[in-house]
A and B are shown apart, each in its own frame.
Chain A
Amino acid sequence: MIKFILSVLTRARNGMELSKHLVDLVTNSIEALAKHVLIMLTAEKGGITLEVMDDGIGIKDEDVRKALDGEKAPRGKGLRLLREETGSFSYRSDDRGTSVSAFFDKTDVRGVGDALIVFWQELSITDITLSTTSPRGVYCFDSRLIGEKYGDLADIQTMVKVRKDVNYTLINLFGGNEE
């Protein structure tokens, strides 16, 4: 049962890239002891909806309120900034998992590969799936297939390959320049 739903509309402004917010949200999922994190990127309404879902232990309403009010909170990293910087933001959590969704009014997917490999060492305990949809096509990256598709997880060259592949594919699907 959903314990908490919050929806806030704010005026979008230039801020941190989507990929940086992604780091905060996946960090929250890992800190909630998630075994699986699903990241969804969907091109719509001239921008991108980012949704991060996990099967972790959830976050207390009180901690979400503190995080959004800028008080010191043990959990909910980056939620306040996400609310401030996106056109819309919604949040659901219970003891079976959490889902955070935000709409970015710019189609900027630069650095998503850079953000994903930040969690490389956690992949032995938390699987990460990235699923994207844009008018140019769909793409799915699953960390459980890294060994089969890219190479040995212990090899740093594999990190580089994954980063390059994700960045290149997303730029092709969503547009923009690869950096």
Chain B
Amino acid sequence: MKSIADINAIREQMKSKVLIRDNTKEGETHVFVGMGTCGVQAGAVEVFNAFVDEISSRVIKNVRISRTGCLGDCEKEPMAQVVTPGAQPVTYVALTPDKVKEIVEKHILGGNVVAEYVK
């Protein structure tokens, strides 16, 4: 039997996933960019705006970009989580605007996770 501490630990681990599920509309890809202080210092605002640039210039529909809190691994910031319908969330680390272009091209448009940038 699990202890209260175990259950609380599981609850903490699942919190972000539950929030993501609740906020994402059916059929929509949702990109969450980690905007804790660590992320902002590491370049998360540039990464957020790079997603906006790529999604808008390619006129891709059904993609929402949001900020979220620290994604839990400060030394690997900037980080972003890509949630596509029917798939597990994928967390990308140490992002740059160039890596964002590749993720939009291969993952969001092509459906293939860019494994080399995954956590």
Contacts and interface: CB of A to CB of B under 8 A. Distances in A.
B40 A23 contact: yes
A32 to B, nearest CB: 14
Majority-rule SS of B interface residues: helix
Contacts, number: 53
B37 interface: yes
A159 B53 CA distance: 10
Majority-rule SS of A interface residues: helix
Contacts of B33: 118
Contacts of B48: 114, 117-118
B81 to A, nearest CB: 14
Given A78-B40, A81-B37, A111 B55 contact: no
B109 interface: no
Contact of A156 (B35, B37, B41, B52): B52
Contact of B55 (A27, A77, A156): A156
A160 B52 contact: yes
Contact of A24 (B40, B64, B66): B40
B36 interface: yes
Contact of B45 (A19, A77, A121, A159): A19
A81 B37 CA distance: 9
A24 B44 CA distance: 12
A19 B67 CA distance: 15
Contact of A118 (B35, B53, B55): B35
Q: State which size class the interface on B falls in.
A: 10 to 19
Contact of A121 (B53, B55, B63, B64): B64
A160 B41 CA distance: 23
B56 interface: yes
Q: State which size class the interface on A falls in.
A: 20 to 34
Contact of B36 (A77, A114, A156): A77
A27 B35 contact: yes
B56 A160 contact: yes
A20 B56 contact: no
A10 interface: no
A118 B37 contact: no
B52 to A, nearest CB: 6
A19 B33 CA distance: 17
B16 interface: no
Q: Which 9 A-B pairs have the closest CB atoms?
A: A121-B66, A78-B37, A156-B56, A114-B49, A160-B56, A77-B37, A118-B67, A23-B40, A20-B40
Given A16-B40, A118-B48, 10 more contacts: A20-B45, A78-B40, A81-B41, A111-B45, A114-B46, A118-B35, A121-B64, A121-B65, A156-B52, A163-B49
